[in-house]
Amino acid sequence: MSQPPNIYIIGAQCTGKTTLVKNLHANFESNSSHEPPILITEVARTVLKQHSFTAADVVNPDSIQLQSLILQAQASAERQVTQTGQWFISDRSGADPIAYALRYVEEGRANQLIQSDEWRELRTRMQDAIVVVFEASEEARSWLADDGVRLIPEDVDDWIAMHRVFCEFLQDQEMNFQVLPAWVGDHEERVEFVLQCWDCKKERGPRWVVTNF
């Protein structure tokens, strides 16, 4: 049986990515004919803790070192899984630290990440995967809850702007992706949305286009 396509659940903070990843994993454990995927989660939080950064450092114009470390950590985590012949679901991607760098660090320094070996490796892997971007929108403002670790946007406009940076960067990189609308708030509906994209990817091939932005 061929390897299932990996799944990336990405986007601005506070959009429910980690919850959806865990729900997806539970679904695959109970319903799939494939071996359950490996979970890649909380890469950024681990980097913040290991290197004594805080969420406030993400918006620091000098935070390129932090985003570079996150990019390297994501590449390492994915490499460890793929080298064992397994597939994965991840609640972030190599696009995440670059999107945050584009938003909060000057573009020239963000381009250092885009030109890195790590991004070239991660981009190739993402092109053969399902990439779902969770939408940030006015109607979902109640999701902006501070847990003391993650970066909280200044306001809804800042949150939506971050979402647009993700989508625009993926488009610039000619990356296929699907936006999960914020109005799809039910957990089961969110899981079903991703599974439908995943099933189509399996049926139509690794470079099937599912972009909607």
pLDDT at 41 exceeding the cut of 60 = yes
For residue 144, what pLDDT is reported? 57
The residue-averaged pLDDT of 178-202 equals: 88
List pLDDT tens digits, range 106-127: 888 899 999 999 999 999 999 9
pTM: 0.89
For residue 57, what pLDDT is reported? 86
For residue 101, what pLDDT is reported? 94
pLDDT at 70 exceeding the cut of 90 = yes
The residue-averaged pLDDT of 127-154 equals: 71
Would the CA dihedral through 184, 151, 170, 50 be positive or negative?
A: negative
For residue 54, what pLDDT is reported? 82
The proportion of the chain whose per-residue pLDDT surpasses 90, expressed as a percent, equals 55
For residue 154, what pLDDT is reported? 67
For residue 108, what pLDDT is reported? 86
